[in-house]
Amino acid sequence: MMFPGQGSQMIGMLKQLAEIYSLVEGTFEEAADVLKYDLWNLVQRGPIEELSKTWRAQPAILAASISIWRIWKQQGGKNPELMAGHSLGEYSALVCSGVINFVDAIQLVELRGRLMQEAVPIGCGAMAAIIGLDDNIVLSACIQEKRDQIVSISSFNASDQVVISGHKEAVQRVMIICKKLGAKKIFLLPISVPSHCELMRSIAIKLANNLNKVNFCVPKIPVVNNVDVYIEQNPIYIRRALIRQLYQPVRWMDILRYLIHQGVDVLLELGPGKILTSLAKRSFDSLFVLSINNPEALSKSITHNYY
């Protein structure tokens, strides 16, 4: 099972599931008690500009993924052999694997979002997806165009797609040169902070202090982490990996390769949208991939026993 990160948020997400399963709104109510605002109302009615703020989007996506997981278990779905989450999605995976409880996770990801925005004021940072260029070409473009600013690859998403992150002007310069170099598609992501780059290192200590206040348990289901592509069992090292995740790139392609090497041939995405489903299909034809965020897909995945 895989869990999406920021950027997958959308107005109206999980509406169909919520009409059938009370667990959805119940989960969002738990989150609302922590956040002190109506999270379900925000994800259903918007505005999208508010939902896309990093400290709003992160709890919303986490709550969506946990809602689906709870329904999955309620309906008799089996535990997966392995879990992985993309960026924020790693927190979702850790909740589902029993490492941290949902309430603590909601508090952590809202704080994480606020700290990330604190590190880089709105409008000063950006993230952009670049499709159709070799990783090394994009790396060279970042080095060439960073000048006195920061820009780097923040996520290796697919065989032909990376995401860059950093100062807005530097990101724009790299976008221009990558277009000239033959990129098939380039677009800015709906994210208000430049994640997984050196601009985030300044908040690592603050996040670490709060992670250390939260009880972490040994995972009941193995989780492949973002920064090392490794399954940690020791709660101390799980925390440390989450801290480094702030300013180091997400190695999603390496994670997919690792899963395949472990014998995985079915991937189920739990969360809004189907970003991770699309990324996996781009790179690996051998995988059966399904996004589970509506009643039909949920029923199909349990009934057909794909796993």
Residues with active-site annotation = 87, 196
The residue ranges of DSSP E strands in 86-202, in sequence order, are 125-131, 151-158, 161-167, 185-188
Gap between the Cα atoms of 226 and 258, Å rounded: 12
Q: Cβ atoms within 10 A of the Cβ of 106, count?
A: 25
- Find the radius of gyration of the CA atoms of the chain: 18
Residues in a beta bridge with 288: 266
**Is the Cβ–Cβ distance between 239 and 219 less than 8 Å?**
no
- How far is 134 from 204, CA to CA, in rounded Å? 30
Query: DSSP secondary-structure letter at 181?
Result: T
CA distance 274 to 296: 14
**For residue 108, how far is the Cα from the chain centroid?**
14
